[in-house]
Amino acid sequence: MKHKCPICKAETDSAIHADFPFCSERCRERDLGNWASEKYVVSEPIFTEEEVLEGEPNTIILDLDKDSDQSNDADQ
């Protein structure tokens, strides 16, 4: 499976990179550090169980390829 590294956006391949979806151990560790420093957080649920049971929930589409943190690129 081919993908872009979530930290540096380099092309990665699950058949080649042992640290997939990251391109390297360095990027994998930076991601872990971001979680440890609470740069990333898990938000509250978007939908309540009642909303899901009542009908059609609203759909939210996330652009996972969008670079939300420009400072990661500058640190390299």
Q: How much is the pLDDT for 59?
A: 63
Question: At 44, is the pLDDT very low, low, confident or very high (cuts 50, 70, 90)?
Answer: confident
Look at residue 17 in the predicted model and tell me its pLDDT: 85
37, with CB counted inside 10 A (0-12, 13-18, 19+), is exposed
Please spell the DSSP secondary structure of 1-38, one letter per residue. -EEE-TTT--EEETTT-TTTTSSSHHHHHHHHHHHHTT
Reply yes or no on whether the pLDDT at 67 is more than 80.
no
What would the pLDDT profile of 45-64 be if each residue is shown by its tens digit? 676 777 667 766 566 666 76
Say how far apart CA 35 and CA 73 lie, in whole Å: 17
pLDDT over threshold 70, residue 39: yes
Q: What is the pLDDT of residue 75?
A: 47
> Which token pair is 4?
């872009």
The domain 2-64 having CATH identifier 3.30.50.10: the answer here is yes
Parse the chain into domains and list their residue ranges: 2-64
